[in-house]
Chain A
Amino acid sequence: MVPDQSFQHAHSAHCESGVMSLMMHHYGLPLSEAMVFGLSGALMFAYLPFVKLGGMPLIAYRSRPRAIIKGLQKNLGIKMKMQTFSHPAEGTKALDSLLEQGKIVGAQTSVFWLPYFPEEMRFHFNAHNLIIYKKEGDEYLISDPVFETPVRCETQALQKARFVKGVMAPKGLLYYPVHVPETINYAVVLPKAIKKNAKAMLKTPVPIAGIRGIRYLAKAIGKLEQKDRRYAKLFLGHIVRMQEEIGTGGAGFRFIYASFLQEAGKLLENPLLGESSEMMTLVGDQWREFALMLAKAIRSKESQTTDFSTLKAKLESVADAEAAVYRKLLEGNLV
C-alpha cells in the first residue's frame, strides 16, 4: 500500500463516497465515486416518521452514515482504521500526529460549524465527511469532496465541528486505510453487490424501507390534506431538501447509481446492466419531476390549494418504475 506522491482533490457529488473514492485513488486503487457508492450497496430509501430531525421526520435516499465505509471494507477486503475520542484536545492531537506521518485522514464533522460552508447551507447535520491532508501553521488543508477545490479551516473550528454532540455525533471520528487490495475481482463482487442492493430495496421486511418506504411516504403525502398548511408545505420542502440539497448527485442518488450500473456493465460486458442503467436514469428523471411538483406546491400562494392526491400518485408511479429496475436486476443473469 504505497500512496501516490501528492494528494489529488476531486469534486464529488456526495461526501462519504467522495472521500472513499479519493482515498482509494491515493493508495493506487482507482475506484470512481459511483463505483464506491454501488459496491458498498449504499442505495436505499427510508421514511422514518418517528425519528425527527429539526422537527421533520427522517427521509433518506441512501443507507445510514458510515455504511459506505463499512460496506466497502466488507465487499472489497479494504481495511480501515477507525478511531473516536472522548476528549476534543486528544482528537486534535491524534489528527496532527497522523498528518505528521504523511497520512491523509478522513473525518466526520458537523456541517454547521465548518466556516467555509456557504452561510445559507449551514444546518445542524453531523454526518459530513472530508479528508484532511496537510497542516500549515494553524490551518488544515481540507479536501471536502462536495467542493470544487480544496479548502482551509482553522484548528479550533475543525475541532468544534468534529466534537459536536447530538444525533449521529461524530465523536471526533478519524479514519484511514491500513490495507487496500491491488486488484478487485469485479466478476464476483459486482453481481453480488448489485443483487444484494436490489433485494434490500425490493424485499425489505419493514414497511418503512426500500420500495415499501417510498409507498409509505406517498401515503403520508396523501394525508397532508388534513394537516396544518404550514406544516404540510414544510414537509414537502423537506422531501426536496433530502433528495436534492444534500449531496446526492441529483434525484436522491438515483443518477449516481445509474452511473455505477453503466460502469459495471462495461466492466462485465453485460448488456443487461447497461439497460438497467438507462431505466434507472429514467427513474431519476421521474424523481426530479416529482421534486419540481413539490417546489410548485411550496411556492403556491395562500389562496391556491395543493392537490396532494396528484403528488401521492406521482410518487407511487416513481415507486413502480424503480421497483421494475430492481426486478430486472434480480431476475437477470449478471455474470
Chain B
Amino acid sequence: MDNSKVPQHNISTYANNKKAIYATDENGKYGIITSSGWDVEEAATKQALQELERLAIKAYDQALSGQASPLYFHMYNRRMDLQTLAQAMGMFQWRIKRHFSPTAFDKLSAKMFARYADTLGISVQELRELPDRRANGA
C-alpha cells in the first residue's frame, strides 16, 4: 500500500489513538505510517459492539421481567458470552446456565457470588442487581 493511501478516517473506536500501518514511500521503500483508522475497520468493530449491546439489552429486559437472573445481563454487559464466562470461571457451561435462572441465582453461596463478581470485575451488590437503565446505557 502506498503511504498516501493509508486511511486517516479518525475513527471513533480508536478514541484519538493511532495505529501503525506498513506502507511504501514514493521510492517503494517500506516504513511505518501512523493511521487514525480506516472506516472499514470501524464498521466491523462497531458491528461487533452493537451485537453485544443488542444481547445485553435483550438480557436486561428478560432479567427485569424475572425470566432471567441479573447474571445473564452482566455477562453480556461485560462483553462475554456463555463460553467466555464459563472458561473465565473455570466451570461447565451447564452450571453457569443454571445460574441464569433467578431462583437458582438467588440461592448461590456468598463465595459463589464473590467469584462471579470478581470474574466480571464488579461488586457483589452490583452483580445481584440490575443497574439503572439510563446510567448503564442499556
Contact = CB atoms under 8 A, between A and B. Distances in A.
Interface of A: 11-13, 33-34, 52, 54-55, 112-113, 118-124, 146-148, 160, 164-167, 233-234, 237-238, 240-241, 244-245, 247, 249-251, 255-256, 258-259, 262-263, 277-278, 281, 284-285, 288, 291-292, 294-295, 298-299
Contacts of A164: 88
A226 to B, nearest CB: 21
Interface stretch (B25-33, B63-71, B96-104): B25-33
Contacts, number: 133
A119 B39 contact: no
Contacts of B130: none
Interface string B83-123: 11001111000000000000000000000000000010100
Interface residues of B, number: 44
A255 B35 CA distance: 14
B79 A255 contact: no
B135 interface: no
B138 interface: no
Given A251-B1, A259-B22, A298-B43, A120 B12 contact: yes
Interface of B: 1, 6, 12-15, 17-24, 28-32, 34, 38-41, 43-49, 51, 78-81, 83-84, 87-90, 119, 121
B51 A234 contact: yes
A256 B44 CA distance: 22
Contact of B45 (A11, A13, A241): A241
